[in-house]
Structure 1
Amino acid sequence: MALPLGVALVSAVAFLPGTASARPAAVPDTPASVSQALGLPTADAASMSYVVNVRPGKGSAERAKKAIAKAGGDVVIAYDKIGVIVVHSANPDFAKTIRKVKGVDSAGATRTAPLSAQADDALESERPLTAQEAKAAAGKASAGQDELEPLQWDLPAMKADKAHKVSLGSSKVTVGVLDSGVDDTHPDIAPNFDREASASCLGGVPVQKGDAWRPVAGESDHGMHVAGTIAAAKNGTGVTGVAPGVKVASLKVAEPATGMYYTEAVVCGFMWAADHGVDVTNNSYYTDPWLFNCKTDADQKALVDAVGRASKYAERKGAVNVAAAGNAKTDLAQDEILDESSPDDTTPVPRVIKTKDCLDLPSQLPGVVTVSATGAKGIKSSYSNYGNGVVDIAAPGGDSTKYQAPNAPAVDGRILSTLPGGKFGYKAGTSMASPHAAGVAALLKSTHPHASAARIKALLYRQADAMACTKPYDYDADGKVDAVCEGGRNKNGFYGVGMADALDAVRK
C-alpha cells in the first residue's frame, strides 16, 4: 500500500513506500459499493472503480452519463464543477469504451484490484511517549510552555516557539488534513477542531454522519499525528502545534482496512475542502496504487487529470495545498527512476519511469507546495526524497536519533505529536515535514487574512531561511556520500528555498 508519507523509526529509519458544491442530502446514483465505511452495501465481486473526466459543460457530462450506463457503469458521484465522475463497473472494457465517447477527456481505473478484494497491510507502529519522558519534560517546561514542549526540538528549528510569543494564529483559519482521520476528542485537538469542514471521503462521497471523519479502533493514527503537528492547542498540557490558534479539519481519505489513498477519495477531499472554507490542505501521502502516475498510460493519465483538476479547484477557491515529497531517498529530478512498488494494491511490477511523463500525486502537481524533511541537526533527513526544481521548501520531519540526535532536553530525533485516545508518540517522515510547512502557511493566512493562495505561497517561499547544500552528505558517517545536492544557497534540491520560518509568518 502507499504509506502515508510518515515512517516510524525504532532504532534506525524504517523505510515504507509511501465535491459537490455542498454535501449531498443523499448519495446520488449510488451503486451497491461505495464502501462499508459509508454504511452502504458491498459491490459486485468483479466491480472496479473508475474516474471519467469530461469537458466542462452540462452537455458533455450528460452525454458521458448516458454512455456510462450503456457501458455497464454506475455513477457514484459527479463533481460537475471540475468534470470528474466517479464510476463503478464490472465491465473489463469499461474504460476503453468510455474513452471513445465524445466529450470524454480521459477515463481510467483508480485501482488494479476489484473493490471487494483489497489486501490488508498494517502500518508499522510509532514509538509511544513513555511516562518517564512525559514527567521529565513537564519538570523542564518553562513559563508559557505546554508540558511536553521541551521535547519538541522541531518548534525552535523553525522559530515557532518565538512566533507563538507574537501570535498563535487565527481561529478563522482552517487547515484540512487529508489523511486517515482525526480524533477530535483528544484534549489537544478538541479546542481547535472544525466539525463543519470535516467529512469522510471514502469511496469518493463526502459523509459527515456519525463523526465519520474519526479513525476507529485499529485504523492508522497517521492523520492524528499530522493534525497535532499543525494545530495542537497551547493549553498548558500536551504538545504544541506550529499554529496552535488555528482550526484543523479532518478529511478522511485513507481506506480503513488497507490504508490506501485512492483517487476518488483524494478528489473528494480537495473538493470538500474547497467548498467548505478550508484555507490550507495538508497531503502527507501519495495517491495509490501508483507511486508515479504516467500520463503516457491511459488509466494513469485519468488519475493525474482527476486529482489535478481537484487540487486546482481548491487553489482557485483560496486553499494552499501542501504535500510531502516522499520517503524513498530518491532524487526526483533525475530523468529516470526505478519504481519497484507499483501497483501496490496487487502485485508490483518493476518499471523505469520517465520523470517528464510521470508524477507523484499530489506532491508534483502544479501549484502544490512540495516539502522535504530535515532532522534535529538541521540537515536533510536520511529517508527524504529530494530534487532540484522539485522540492519547494524544507521543514522538520525528524530522523533516527542515531543519525540526528536533538539537543537536550529533547530525547528523540523524531517528531512528537498527538495520537488517538489522548495519547502522544513519535514518528518521522516527510509526512511530518509537510504539516510543519502547512502550519506556517496557516500562520501566514492568519497574518494576511485577505491574501490569495498564490500570495501566501509567495510569502512562504520569500520568508524561508535559505539553506546551503549539505556537502558532502553522509548521514550515517560511513565515509560514503549518500546523496548529491544540486543548486545554490537560495534554492537547491535538498531544501528548496530553505527552512519554513514561523516567526516571519506572524510579522505584519
Structure 2
Amino acid sequence: MIAAGFRGGADSWYDPWFGTAVPRDLDGHGTHTTATAVGRGGVGVAPDAQWIGCADLARGVANPGYYLDCLQFMFAPFPHGGDAFHGNPNRGADVLTNSWGCSTLEGCRSDTLAAAAHALSIAGIYPVFAAGNTGPDCGSIVDPLANSPDVLTVGAVDRTGAVADFSSRGPVSGVAGKPDVVAPGVNVLSALPGNTYGTLSGTSMATPHVAGVVALMWSANPRLRGDIADTTTLLRTTAKSVRSATCAGPNSTGAGLVDAAAAVTAARIFPRM
C-alpha cells in the first residue's frame, strides 16, 4: 500500500539508528502515517505522490540529534553510507509529515529545533507537525516542533467533528493560532506492516491527512510549490468551522477542519482568488 509510492534510489531512506538501507518499520506507526498521506489501496490522501523517509523514532523515543539528522536528510538527501554534508537539495522533500514531538525527556528545550524549522520554511519545504496528545489541558502544545511558528500544527477531531480529548491545545506563548487546523485523528483506518490494515488514534493520525492535502494543492497548481505562506492561507481560509472544546475558539481547533476539496479548488485558481 505504500511500497509502490516509494521513490527508490540510494538516497530515499535514512536510518540513523541501525543504518538499514531500505525502509523498515518496527512498530507500524510510520507505515500507518505514511499510508494516510500517500498510500494506495483506498487509504491515501495523495496516492500518486512519491515518498522518502527517515527513521527518527526507531524506539518510540529519540533525541535532538536524530531528529536533526532526519530533518537535514529530508532537506538534502544523501546516498546510503554517504556524507550528510554532501546531500543534494534537488532531491529533497516538498512536504514533511511529522508525527512526533521532541520532549524534555528526550533532551529538547522549547526552542531546540527552531532553527531547523525556520531553515526548512525558508527553503520552501512545507513542515506539517502533530500538535501532540497531552490534551485536553489548555496550553498543552509544548513540544518542538508543534510549538513553532514555522510549521503547520495539526490537532485531531473525531467523526462527528468534535475535538479529541487527547488533542493538545493552545495557546502557545508568543505564537498565535496553534493548532493551525484540525483533521481526522480518531480510529483512523490505514495500512500496517505485513500488508494489513488497522485503526489508530492520535494527532499523529491527523497530521498526514493535512500533508497529503498540501501535496494535492501543489500538484493542482505548481505555482504554489514552495510557497509556504500562501499555501497556509489557503488551507486556513477553506477550512470548515468545527465545534470547539476546552480552551475556547482557535486554541482547540485553529482555523477549523481541513477541507481537501475546497483547498484544492482554491489552489487551482490561485492567485486569481
Q: Give your verdict on TM over 0.5.
A: yes
The corresponding residue for 1:242 is: 45
Shift of 1:313: 1.7
CA shift at 1:247, angstroms? 1.5
Structure 2 counterpart of 1:379: 162
Structure 1 letter corresponding to 2:241: A
1:502 is displaced (CA, Å) by 0.7
Question: SS state of the match for residue 323, structure 1?
Answer: strand
Residue aligned with 2:222, SS: coil
Runs of 5+ unmatched residues, structure 1: 1-187, 296-303, 338-354, 399-413, 471-483
Q: 2:180 aligns with which of 373, 392, 399?
A: 392
Amino acid in the other structure paired with 2:247: C
1:214 counterpart (12, 20, 24): 24
For 2:5 and 2:196, the matched residues in 1 are separated by: 17
Match of 1:439 in 2: 212
Equivalent residue, structure 1, for 2:7: 194
| Structure-1 separation of matches of 2:222 and 2:215 | 10
Mapped pair 1:364 → 2:147: yes
Counterpart in 2 of 1:469? 244
User: Which residue type is aligned with residue 415 of structure 1?
Assistant: V
1:293 CA drift (Å) = 4.3
Query: In the alignment, residue 8 of structure 2 is paired with which amino acid?
Result: R
SS at match of 1:493: helix
* Aligned equivalent of 1:326: 132
Cα separation, partners in 2 of 1:384 and 1:322, compared to 1, 3 Å: same
Q: Residue type of the partner of 2:251?
A: G
Over 3 Å counting, the alpha-carbon distance change for 1:191 and 1:294 in structure 2 is: closer
State the one-letter code of the partner of 1:425.
G
Q: Answer whether contact 2:242 2:257 (CA < 8 A) is retained.
A: yes
8 Å contact from structure 2 (residues 103, 109) kept in 1: no
Structure 1 equivalent of residue 54 of structure 2: 251
Offset from partner CA, 1:373-395 (integer Å, 9 cap, x none): 00011111121112243211000
* Aligned match of 1:316: 122
Aligned ranges 1:112-151 → 2 under 5 Å: none
The question of whether the paired residues in 2 share the 8 Å contact of 1:327 and 1:430 is answered with yes
Give matches, 1:485-504, under 5 Å. Answer: 485-487=247-249, 492-504=250-262
Rounded to whole Å, the distance in 2 between the matches of 1:322 and 1:292 is: 22
Quote the residue 1:266 is aligned against. 67
- Aligned partner of residue 321 in structure 1, secondary structure: strand
Q: Cα deviations across residues 283-340 of structure 1 (Å, max 9, x unaligned)?
A: 1111145379446xxxxxxxx34x222222222221111111111214343xxx7xxx
The DSSP-based 3-state class of the residue aligned with 2:105 is coil
C-alpha distance in structure 2 between counterparts of 1:454 and 1:290, whole Å: 32
* Structure ranking higher in strand proportion: 1
Task: Tell me, yes or no, if the aligned pair for 1:278 and 1:319 is still in contact at 8 Å.
Answer: yes
Please give the per-residue CA displacement for 1:212-232, whole angstroms capped at 9, x wherever unaligned.
Answer: x322xxx21100000110111
How far, CA to CA, are the matches of 1:498 and 1:443 in structure 2? 19
Residue 195 of structure 2 corresponds to 422
Which of these two proteins has the greater Rg computed from alpha carbons? 1
The corresponding residue for 1:505 is: 263
Q: Please show how residues 144-163 of structure 1 align to structure 2 within 5 Å.
A: none
CA contact (8 A) 2:158 2:164 kept: yes
Give CA deviations for 1:423-451 in whole Å, capped at 9, x if unaligned.
Answer: 11110111101111111111111122232
Deviations 1:76-99 (A, max 9, x none): xxxxxxxxxxxxxxxxxxxxxxxx
Change (3 A) 1:292 1:498: farther
Contact 1:263 1:288 in 2 (8 A): no
Shift of 1:468: 4.3
CA distance in 1: counterparts of 2:150 and 2:97, whole angstroms: 13
Counterpart Cα distance in 1 of 2:105 and 2:6: 32
Partner amino acid for 2:24?
R
Distance change (3 Å), C-alpha of 1:279 and 1:244? same
Report the CA distance shift for 1:381/1:286 in structure 2 as closer, same or farther (over 3 A). same
* AA of the residue aligned to 1:278: A
